[in-house]
A and B are shown apart, each in its own frame.
Chain A
């Protein structure tokens, strides 16, 4: 696999996890009940851990690149880091890249919305992560395979938690069903991007997009059925996040998340 593809794909996996972790963390202290406040932030913690593993790998890759290879990924490297005169580190990738250098799905950067929107997004994304990690576990790239193996076990709990919430709300009260249905209408247009490969995803990482889509649709349909929901018959989808074209929401999220490292570069605890 060409180095640009491997580096960009690793960042894409990391960014998905980090951005959703940051979004979910907005619920800290605001969850509907204490146990669920703890649950959603535990999921954030798992996702941050996964993101760190991917960022560390991306930084290691970059530091071992030849000059030509470094040149090929220059547009993804934070400008501020170039003034530091030291090796690239995981935190540089998380806290110093700009909006257009982020390669996450649009789905994960959307505002948290109400609880229905939060749990629906989590379910759609966790079911996606589950099928991605299941395939990536057999990748020829040992480090990607190892992170996928590790992360997949954590994702199983996220899938279970979010799927149960969909069923609880969808098959709950009139109000909970109405809210969840609204969330489906709002989020569904962002699910097409999951299976529209970015140029870097076309390299051979051991992912089969058609199989992924099929597996995700089947799993999603099964949960929707129990939640008395219908997937919209939609053909027009939003995309662009995987290639750095984002909604207006990402900039605000990054501004808050990156504030400290931008104001006090290289600050540590």
Chain B
């Protein structure tokens, strides 16, 4: 379906399922739910799915309803509201309307929940993936975590700021290839 604007060549994606007046919920098991969630991407880091990010904590099918429990990455992360809405839309697109999304704070999200697949995708996107928390998350002042450059792999890098373009990232620069890059920081 072409976009309404004549000059625009963008195609608008058709919903996978068309609705008529009778609402039919297809059969669904937890594996299928996880597969649908795999297609919901983080709005700020679009190469990561919400599953890669580790924010989906639980999925259940209860009396024909889908119950999804998610946990925020950071308390103030504006992406969380968008993620809830995107999950809902993705399920509607697949023919499921009865979706309940619950937010749970404890146990608190950690970068250790990010999938290996997610880490690879981040690196390919130019963001240095988080190091394992137990080894690298430190309170020590002026301590610098050794973060390899996602482009040239050099460890000859320097922290510019603990805070970056989103709550979950810090800023680094590579002293070898001279590129600045984001690092998904330890949490």
Contact = CB atoms under 8 A, between A and B. Distances in A.
A154 B187 CA distance: 8
B161 A36 contact: yes
A46 B141 contact: no
B106 A149 contact: yes
Dominant secondary structure of chain B at its interface with chain A: loop
Given A45-B167, A150-B108, A52 B76 contact: yes
A35 B141 CA distance: 18
Given A149-B107, A150-B108, A164-B142, A47 B76 contact: yes
Contacts, number: 77
B162 interface: yes
Interface residues of A, number: 33
Interface residues of B, number: 25
B141 A160 contact: yes
A50 B139 CA distance: 21
B171 interface: yes
B141 A167 contact: yes
A39 B187 CA distance: 16
Contact of A150 (B72, B164, B165, B167): B72
Interface in B79-122: 104-110
Interface string B47-88: 000000000000000000000000010111110000000000
Contact of A149 (B72, B105, B139, B167): B105
B139 A150 contact: no
B78 to A, nearest CB: 8
Contact of B141 (A36, A52, A143, A164): A164
A39 B75 contact: no
